[in-house]
Amino acid sequence: MSFNDLEVWGSLNVIAVLLVTLLISNGLKRWVGFLRKSLIPTSVLGGLILLGLSAIYKAITGRVMFNEPFFGGDGMSYMEIVTYHALALGFIASTLKSSKKKMTKKRSVEVFNTGVTTVATYLMQAMLGLGITILAALIMTDFFAAAGVLLPFGYGQGPGQALNFGWMYEEQGFFGGKAFGLTIAGLGFLSASLGGVIHLMILKKQGKVRIIEEKDEVLSGDEVQPKGEIPMNGGLDKLTVQLGFIIGTYILAFLVMYGLSFLFEPESNMIDTIFGFNFLIGVLMATLVKAVLNFCRKVKIVKRQYLNNFLLDRTSNFFFDIMVIASIAAIQLDLMKDYWGIMAILAVVGLVSTYLYNYFVARKLFKEYPEEQFLAMYGMLTGTASTGMILLREMDPEFKTPVADNLVYQNFPAIVFGFPLMMLANMAPEKPLITWFILVGFFIVMNVILFRAQIFKKRKKVSVETEEVAAEPETEE
């Protein structure tokens, strides 16, 4: 091996291009007025720039730009790997954060309802998406009927999971499955920006919101370095410590997934499914690591706090930015030439249904802050949690409402109720119609849980009224 070999530099060149493009996109967002007002995330803009450059390069040369020797000869696959790992690493960093806020009964209900809303939206997107592609498979020969299940993964869960399940579907015969999933995720980000801007403009005309220009954020010393934590520059740099816990936790998740894979035959689809859940198992391992650290501090085995929320926030945002730009840049448009009509239908249906359903839920269940809850949920369920936060900041820049906390804590009920959806997605390629009926039933059940107070309150009221009527004495004529 020679250090001047492009294979040595290829992966680094891919990362360098992604990061430099993020810097350029950030400058464009600040300098170009319509981009600044569009609310499109910087990472999405960067991905679109690279996607456009790749398309132009392919049209001129006939070759894939990121598969050139400068990028090691297989840069597209490398960006897919980056997307896969960055999803789990971002979730792990977010989960390792500590919280000192006490959860009241009312707040617990709101968090639970937010988690149930998330899963109900996944189910609605899957139900509609699968219904569309089942019909498409009846019209188009050799079309993969289960492709519509990628709608909730692209819109609801983001590009990482869209890539995971697109890859699994590609293994099961869906040509271009990875590109299809990543494209749906990219269209989801555009839907988040389009729907969010339209809604904010409506609120602005009604005088309910004033769009605030981005301003410098001033953090206090306690926010960056709380008391009782290890110093920033001790024997080991504090950022290095955070990365050590994040990567170490991810290795634990890998060992769990690797161990579970031995429970199945080597050719079983369940092995792919297990490794497709890397972010979920990563979250569970991060929860375990955090619990062990808290226990060690409680019994005085560990005397100082090693995890720092400020640095964990920065790290998770870094991973999510890299994930988004890499996922969009990895889309191969030429593989999608036969699917644009169906993807356009899926994108429009995903936008409209997610908008209407979440607006209805926010108005009914979050009456103290309906607009803030709607914007955050709509942004998250068409893009990522960071997209939801971008929209929320336009309405609630100082986070006076508890919506930001709702997005953080809803992950646990969402994971519990959302796990069956992932199993159904694994079943969809073989039994698409049966899967669709199960999704419909599951969606109804989740809405009964979500609107339990309204449903059972009405039933109780009807029962009381019936008893009162029955108790009235009969009058003689």
With vertex at residue 79, the alpha carbon angle to CA 76 and CA 83, rounded to the nearest 5 degrees, is 140
**Residue 474 falls inside a structural domain:** no
Question: For residue 418, is it within any domain?
Answer: yes
Find residue 237's DSSP bridge partners.
233
Written as six digits, the tokens of 115 are 């988690």
Query: pLDDT tens digits, residue range 223-263?
Result: 677 776 777 777 788 999 999 999 999 999 999 999 999 99
Q: What is the model's pLDDT at position 447?
A: 95
In a domain, residue 239? The reply is: yes
Q: What average pLDDT does the segment 23-52 reach?
A: 88
108, part of any domain: no
Query: What percent of the chain shows pLDDT beyond 70?
Result: 91
400 burial (CB, 10 Å; 0-12 / 13-18 / 19+) is exposed
Query: Considering the domain boundaries, does residue 92 fall inside one?
Result: yes
41 contact partners, CB below 8 Å, separation of at least 6: 189, 193, 324, 383, 386, 387, 390
Q: Collapse the DSSP code of 196 into the 3-class scheme (helix H, G, I; strand E, B; otherwise coil) and give the result.
A: helix
Neighbours of 89 (CB within 10 A): 26
Closest Cα partner for 304 from 222, 245, 228, 227?
Answer: 228
- Among the listed ranges 145-149, 196-200, 382-386, which one has the minimum average pLDDT value? 382-386
Q: List the domain range (segments joined by +) for residue 389.
A: 6-98+118-209+228-464
Per-residue buried b or exposed e for 313-332, using 16+ beta carbons within 10 Å of the residue's own CB:
eebbbbbbbbbbbbbbbbbb
Report the chain's mean pLDDT, rounded to a whole number: 86
Output the pLDDT for position 405.
80
Strand, coil or helix: what is 277?
A: coil
pLDDT category, 212, cuts 50, 70, 90? low
Instruction: Dig out the tokens for 365 from the structure.
Output: 């269940």
Q: What is the pTM of this model?
A: 0.81
The CA R_g of the chain, rounded to the nearest whole Å, is 24
How many domains does the chain fold into?
1
Residue 218 lies in a domain: no
In a domain, 32, yes or no: yes
Whether pLDDT at 342 is above 90: yes
The position carrying tokens 């609107």 is 451
pLDDT digits (tens, 9 = 90+) for 260-303: 999 988 877 778 778 877 888 898 899 899 999 999 988 888 88
SS (H, E, C) 419-452: HHHHHHHHHCCCCHHHHHHHHHHHHHHHHHHHCH
pLDDT at 477: 42
Q: Is residue 220 part of a domain?
A: no
The answer for residues whose C-beta is within 8 angstroms of residue 362's C-beta and 6 or more apart is 370, 371, 373, 374, 377
